[in-house]
Each structure stands twice: as structure tokens, then as C-alpha cells.
Structure 1
């Protein structure tokens, strides 16, 4: 419900909230400071640890992992692989002494429980005698529980142990996490965003408002992340994802509202009235856009994966905090700085937009010409835009799903050097061994001889280690080395062959139960599991988003068109990601120099996030188009004015979002790198091909049908008025503003 303000215009809940925050700005600022202090205190007292299990629930590989954890703890804890390459041979007396000293120093590092004797363990010295393997047993099950500082100490010891005649490298997930480090992506994104805002507004004060709100939201949500992960499992990259979204949408939302605030000021409203009008118009678009992002992220809960739920929850908290800052902290800041929003202007920068008395930007000649061109050639424009999007999506048809390993790391990392040394000394398959967890209910281990022989004779197996029994004698583990690499399709075929043929035949007639696990098996199971869940995610997110747009814009065509456009953007971004993963010229631009598989969960994550973000720009554009349509009843004019009213702000918002995402591309973490590339690509396409070609062409083709909705459905839907009621805030040419009851 709206009410009559004591100053005249009718305002809705957001307008009243904006007025309260403006008038009580001191209290609101203190409340935000108190909230930050409380979040920091809660995080310090209750912060949890990041953890993630990427295996598929209920899969063969997951069960194998669980069996080893329960019955064979020595085979389930995380390990760090030590690889030594000596020109004189690892059995040389001098080299052996150096290796022993090295291993002694490595085992003195905290959380290292012990190390096997590589000179007494079968299969740990290469056939040419120049490469040696040793496994450091950690006292943690998950590598994510290993403190980064201790993993870094291991790396330092290994680097010190490398000499002219002996190379030492370390492998394992714990080392990989330690090498990931931080490149300050958030700071880079904020710096670039600040420059874009300054160029857009030409004023330091106007440019600073979006940054202040985004940083405030980022700090508070970042502090609360520690509390969230105490109750849910979440991977470490979830904080970077939340930071991407928080910075991007925080700046974008406030950018939209600062632009509208300046328009209302130019239309003659005083700072308080302009603040109320801004929240009552642009604020509604911001809330609908934010809810759309949250709805998309909620779709990740349908995947039924703990790490996906955790990542989604961390991101949702970040979005909600930023959304709250946009509608409370921002109007409070306007109360302090609203009168000076155009102060500290850049030299030579002047406002060029012409604003009418009702707060509308009059279309520029450039936008008028462009819209007229698209209107006249709407079918050609639509065909060109569609062809471009489909062409970009083509590479995704040949994408290889799987999990990147150390062989995809940059050449200077110790994990990549370890991978290469193992490949040279023991064969590439040694980097992704397959592990058979054998349960022996009766304690009869005679089946192990038959199983070991059958596995050895299986095509694609390079070698099989002797079976290891646990103390209870009811569980054994066999480790086999494939002849091909972990990402090779032949290795996947081997896993299927073992499960479907070799193992069943070897244990037939016995009570033994064999579970096939390991890197390749986990990748196969996770990919198959996610493939079966993706339809639920896509269906749920698309339908909920369409319903939200239907309620917001009272149009079936608008809702369907938005869903189709967003699906095209996601597909095209998938294609670009697949292209860089090929490791050719495109991949080398971002630091991927080898063919790299696409983690299946990345596609799921990208879909949920990108669909929500794409809807943001759709909401921003269509809210202004609908606003003009309601005022004029002229579809062509509405499209033109909508483009003109949002063209500059959406372009700047997209540039900022792209900058934030691109800042994560240099990350050594392949997941963050791919998310950065995919999201930046999707936003770029949204701001160019979709917004400049496809959307206006489609809306010109549909004409008045854009706004058709069955009367019965229209009456049954709630009224959001996402475009607001700008006429309620328009400054009359003379006399007081009109009062609407």
C-alpha cells in the first residue's frame, strides 16, 4: 500500500524507507557500523572451516572413499606426494643421504603424521632409477583442513632441498591449495570500477557512493561467511564467488539509483524528495533484480550437493546484504552527500542529458538513430544477433567434462613439476591411480590373488600394487596404475571396464564386495550425477524467473523473451569457456596452456549465477520501457525511450561487472578463472548483442503484443509496479505537486 507523504506525493514502502533513512541518516549509519561490529564478533567466536566433497552421493567412488575412511584410516587421510629426480640415480649413496635428510625435515612440519620409506616400498623407484616417490601422511582426512601456512612450509623445505643435481617437487591437494594464494582480485575489480564510475558520472562524490555501498556490503557479508560455513559445507572459492556478486551487483544497483537521483534533481526536486522518488522508482527495479538473483541461486539447492548448497548460501547472504545496503545505507549517504553529488567534477566534464520535469531522460540522437535502425531492419538485426550467439555456443558441443589436475597447472608451480616428473618416471597414469576397496566379510583374503591377476590382465592397466590389508583383515585396497592419464577417455573406459566386466567376474561366487574409486572414477560419477540433476535446476530457475517477470511486467511475451535471451547468453558463455579450455591461442591468453576438462559443477554454478545477473539488466531495461509504455501507449517510442533512459547506465554497469569478473581470470585456481571468463563473456554479450540487437529487434517485431496478458491472469496476479509511479513525484510546472489519493 502507498500513503500520502506530508510533502505531497504518494509513496510506497521503499519510498518511505528511503525517507526514513534520509532523515535518520546518523542512526542508520550507526546501525550499519554496529552490524559490522556484530558480524566481526560472531565470525571471531563461531567461524567454521571451509570444506567440500565433490564426489557424487551414493556413487561407487563415494562408497569406496567411505569404506577406506571407516576401515582403512591409513589409506584415507590426505597425503602429500614427494617426487625426487636425481641425475646420478636415487640409489646413489650421496643422493640417498640427501633424500633421508629431506624426508626427516618434511616430517617435522606440523600435521605430517609420517612418511613411507621409499627405498623399502615396492614401486616407488622408477625403472631407470632416477625418480623416487614418497608419500607424506597427513593427520587430516580432507586436504582443505591442512593449514595453508604448514603446506607453505613444506613447499619451502622442498625448494631448499632442490640442488643442481637433484630436483624436488610436491604434489597433492593441500599443496595445490597453498599455491593458489591470492592475487587481490577484489581490490583490482574495485579499482577498475572506481575508474569507470568516475568517467561515467564525472564527479568524485557521485562515483564514490556506489563504491561505499558495495564495500560496506562486502565487508559485512565477508564477516558473516565464517558463521555460515560453521553450519554448512562450502568450498573456499565460494567467498570469491560471493565477492564477485557483491561487488558487481552492489555497484550496479547503486549506479542505477545514483543516475535516477541525479535525474530527479535535474527535474527540480530537492535532495530529500529526489531520494524518496529514487527509492520509489529505481529502488523497485533493484529489489526485483536482487530477488531474481537470489531465486537463481536457490536453484542450486535442487542439485542435492552439500558443497553447492554451501556456495549458494554464502553467495545469497552476500546478495541480500548488498541489497539491504542499497535500500538503507544508500539513502542515508544521500542524506549526507545528496546536495553535493555533483561536487569534485572532472575537468571538462559536463552533464549532457536533457531531463524533463517528470524525471525522464529525453532520448539522445544517437539512441534515436540506433533504435530507428533496428526498428527498420528488425528481422536482419534479430537474425544477426541470434547467429552470433549460436556461433559462440558451438565449441561447447565438444567440451570434455572432468576435474582439472596438476597437469593443468602453470609450469612454474611445484604441483605441475611433480606431475611432469611422475609422468616421465612412472608413466602419466601414475598421476591418477585407480583404487579398489575390497570388503571381505568372512576375512577370507584368497580372493585377492584372483582379483589382482584379473586386474593386471585388464587392457589399459599398466601395473598393480600388492594388496594391503587392514588390521581387522576385513578390508583390502588395491592400487592400479592406468596406462593413460587421468583425463584421457581411455582411462574412463578402463573404469567402466573394471566395474562392468573385470571385477564382477573375479569375485563371482564369493562374498567379497569391490568398490572402484580414485580420481578418474570420482570424475565419472560426479559428471553423471550432475548431468541427471541439471534439468531440475534449469527448469526450476527458468520457471521461477519467468513467473517473477510475469508478475513484475504483466506480460507473457516479456517473460518468455527474457528467458530465451538469458539462455542464449548462458549458452554462448559456455561456448567461450569451452574454447579457452582447449588450451590453444584463446586458452593461452588467460593462462591455460594445456587441454583442460570442464568441472561439471562449474556449468551448474555459472547457469544459476548468470541467469540471475542477466535478468538484472533485463529488469533495468524493461522497467523503463514499461514506464514509457504506460505513459504513452506507443510501443516503438517505449522501446526507444527505454534504451535511451538505460543505455548509459547499463553500459557502465556492464563494464563494471565485466571488470570485476575479469579481475578473477589471473587466479591460479582454474575454477575461479573459468567462472571469471564465463561471467564476463555473458555480461559483455548481454550489454551488446542482447541489449543492442536482440531485445529491441524482438520488441519491435512483437509490437503491442509485448504487453498482452489474459485479463483473468492479470486480475489474479499481485501488483508490483516495478517501474514505480514517477508521475507521483513529478514536479509540476507551477504550484505544489499534485496529490493522488
Structure 2
């Protein structure tokens, strides 16, 4: 039955954890922001030493066939035997190739970091020769990466013969460098588009910028923790890691893509309600508290689900899958509970009305998606209501 005239709707219950947490965070916003930024900044410090590579058998689980064979080869012949380099000497003339091979061999042998150069293997036409180069260090060592560049820089061509360096180890180094070079562009594109889209949704400049900076803070801290555990070996026993080593080369691309999607979901869950209440008349601080109070349960539940899913991969033996699951689980935890549910409401409370500022010229330029229903409400207020 419809409520009788004069009845008032029941008061909204604002005693939940989300409301209490929002009150506390907005009250202590300055210390919360400082502690959050300082803590995440310290966690991000190891990321400056991050190394990317395609893993080899030396980091496989102990006791596995790949690890046992790798250890036997390394012990008997040296770590470089598991990551040989292939140098190709080719020309249009068999005479040019034959004359260039001894010079190439001598140049490579004098290169720092080379253990040995195998005798050349020549194809039936005599125009192409293959030299096997054995480094002193393993495939994923930084010294091997330096050696690859030194050989390419020092032996580009001899006479009329062209000299090329390849092999599984060199290809792995090339792939890692390509992905590393693409990372800043990829990150800039992702963050730039997110700022533009959130500007359309929230009709603000500072809110999208804050969301993007919070995401960058999450990524930096996640990289730092992952490097500290999987590359530097700190607390490696807690995740069952046998041998620390460089991170898999595509981990940053994967991590940024997945974390970005989840982070923006959490941002929209919380800030859209803040925006809605602010547009409908609440003060900025009360709108922030309302957004946290109504969105905290959704964000907490969603984050715990994703942390459980990603965390399950940490219990597998494969170090690549283990590192991916660990990084994603840590990243979701940091973004949801530290950035979105702690730093974001504190910053929103500090910015007050400035958070929702948008220049008039930009407001007229951007299309209005009106997710709060402000336009519909104004239209209904103008329309007469039929008796």
C-alpha cells in the first residue's frame, strides 16, 4: 500500500563501516594523505632496479627436469652454455665470407664476456657461415645483455660480408627491450584516455587527474614489491620461490592493463555517488562520506574476489605464473584499500568544491553524459504533473 500523507521515509542507516571509515579519513585527511603517499613511495623504491627478461631453466622449480639439466650444464661447463649466441656471417660471394670469418672470430674473442667461439659451420654454397658464441654469464644476466650489444656494435660488417647476431638468448633480450621501450607510450596512452573519459563522466579536471595519479602510485608500489620479492629475493620463502631472477618481460604490460581496468571500476563506484550527491545539494564533505558509505561494500567485495583469484596462482610452482598472480593480487589490494578507499576520500575532502571545478569553455565543449540524472530531474521539475 502507498504510504499515508505526511508519512516520512525511514532514515537512512549510516552506521556502517564505510560511513565510519569515511568520517575518520576525512577528519584526519592531511595525516592520511602523507602517510599513504610516503608508504607507497617507499614500497615503490625497488622498482628502479627492475630487470625484464624471458626466463630460462635456471629459475625453474627445483627438482624439475628443466632445472636439474640446467644445473648440471652450468656446473660442468658454465652458465653461458645454456644461452649460446649465434653469429651469422653472410655475403654474395663465398670468398668474401671465407675471408670475413677469421676476422669476425678474432673480434668476438677479444670482446669482454666471451668464453669461447665455436668453429664455423658453412652452408653448401659457401656464402653463409654460422659461429656459436658462448658467453661467460647466463642468458638472463645483465652482463649477457651488455655482451650482445657489444658484439653488434663492434662487428656490424667485415669487408663485403654482413655480420648478424641472433639466437634464443639474443631474441629474448630484444623482446624485453622492445616491451620496455613501449611501456612509457602504453602507459601515457592508457592514462591520457582515462583522464579524458573520466572528465566526461565527472565534469571535473582534478578528479580524473587524481584518479590517474592514484593509479600510477598503485603501479609503482606494485612493481616495487614484486621486484623486492621475485627479483631481489626478499621474503621469497613466503611465496615458495626457489630462485630469484628478472621479471618476465610482458609482466608490466599485463599488470598495467588489468590493474587499470579494476582501478577505474573502483574509482567510478565511489566517486560517481559522491558526484551525484554533490549535484543534488550535499556539501562536498558529506557527498564524499556518502560515496564511501554506499560504495565501500561493493569495492571491498569486488577487491576480495579478485585478490582471492589472483592469489591462488601464487601457490603454483611455475615462477612466471606465481609472479603474475602475486603482482596482480598485491596491486588490487593496494589500489582498492589504500588508494581508492583511503587516499581518494581524503583528497576529495581536502579539495572540497575545487574537486568539481571545470572551466566553462571546457564544459560547453565536452558532451554531457549526465550519469547523475541532473538533466532529467530539471526536465521533470519543469513539466507539470497531471492530477
Q: TM-score, normalised by structure 2?
A: 0.89
* Number of residue pairs the alignment of both structures matches: 372
Distance 1:542 1:739 in 2: 45
Contact 1:567 1:611 in 2 (8 A): no
Instruction: Confirm or deny that 1:458 pairs with 2:107.
Output: no
Task: Give the match for residue 525 of structure 1.
Answer: 174
Please state whether the residue corresponding to 2:163 is helix, strand or coil.
strand
Instruction: Confirm or deny that 1:417 pairs with 2:68.
Output: yes
Distance 2:336 2:143 in 1: 42
Query: By how many angstroms is 1:688 displaced?
Result: 1.5
Contact 1:582 1:595 in 2 (8 A): yes
Distance 1:689 1:665 in 2: 22
The alpha-carbon distance between structure 1 residues 726 and 683, as it changes in their structure 2 partners (threshold 3 A), is farther
Instruction: Confirm or deny that 1:470 pairs with 2:135.
Output: no
Distance 1:513 1:715 in 2: 60
Query: By how many angstroms is 1:572 displaced?
Result: 0.8
Query: By how many angstroms is 1:541 displaced?
Result: 1.0
Distance 2:69 2:275 in 1: 59
Query: By how many angstroms is 1:437 displaced?
Result: 1.4
Q: How does 1:560-599 map to 2 (within 5 A)?
A: 560-582=209-231, 584-599=233-248
Deviations 1:650-701 (A, max 9, x none): 1111000111111222344444322211111111012211133210110011
Q: How does 1:92-491 map to 2 (within 5 A)?
A: 362-364=13-15, 366-444=17-95, 445-491=98-144
Instruction: Confirm or deny that 1:660 pairs with 2:309.
Output: yes
Task: Give the match for residue 631 of structure 1.
Answer: 280
Q: TM-score, normalised by structure 1?
A: 0.48
Contact 1:361 1:645 in 2 (8 A): no
The alpha-carbon distance between structure 1 residues 357 and 443, as it changes in their structure 2 partners (threshold 3 A), is farther
Distance 1:670 1:724 in 2: 49
Task: Give the match for residue 498 of structure 1.
Answer: 151
Task: Give the match for residue 334 of structure 2.
Answer: 685
Contact 2:203 2:363 in 1 (8 A): yes
Contact 2:263 2:336 in 1 (8 A): no
Contact 1:583 1:594 in 2 (8 A): no
Structure 2, unaligned stretches of length 5 or more?
Answer: 3-7, 378-383
Deviations 1:196-215 (A, max 9, x none): xxxxxxxxxxxxxxxxxxxx
Contact 1:379 1:697 in 2 (8 A): yes
Pick one of 233, 243, 259 that aligns with 1:610: 259
Does 1 or 2 have the higher relative contact order (CA < 8 Å, sep 6+)?
2
Task: Give the match for residue 559 of structure 1.
Answer: 208
Task: Give the match for residue 511 of structure 1.
Answer: 160
Query: By how many angstroms is 1:536 displaced?
Result: 1.7
Tell which deviates more after alignment, 643-652 or 482-491: 482-491
Query: By how many angstroms is 1:726 displaced?
Result: 12
Please state whether the residue corresponding to 1:514 is helix, strand or coil.
strand
Query: By how many angstroms is 1:564 displaced?
Result: 0.6
Deviations 1:34-73 (A, max 9, x none): xxxxxxxxxxxxxxxxxxxxxxxxxxxxxxxxxxxxxxxx
Task: Give the match for residue 318 of structure 1.
Answer: none
Query: By how many angstroms is 1:725 displaced?
Result: 7.1
Contact 1:584 1:593 in 2 (8 A): no
Distance 2:375 2:359 in 1: 26
Deviations 1:269-292 (A, max 9, x none): xxxxxxxxxxxxxxxxxxxxxxxx
Distance 1:585 1:545 in 2: 34
Query: By how many angstroms is 1:457 displaced?
Result: 3.7
Instruction: Confirm or deny that 1:711 pairs with 2:360.
Output: yes
Pick one of 242, 249, 255 that aligns with 1:600: 249
Tell which deviates more after alignment, 518-527 or 377-386: 518-527
Structure 1, unaligned stretches of length 5 or more?
Answer: 1-267, 269-355, 729-737
Contact 1:362 1:645 in 2 (8 A): no
Distance 2:232 2:220 in 1: 20
Distance 1:395 1:483 in 2: 27
Query: By how many angstroms is 1:599 displaced?
Result: 2.8
Deviations 1:598-636 (A, max 9, x none): 233221221122122211100111111112112233111
Pick one of 525, 534, 545 that aligns with 2:183: 534
Task: Give the match for residue 300 of structure 2.
Answer: 651
Task: Give the match for residue 213 of structure 1.
Answer: none
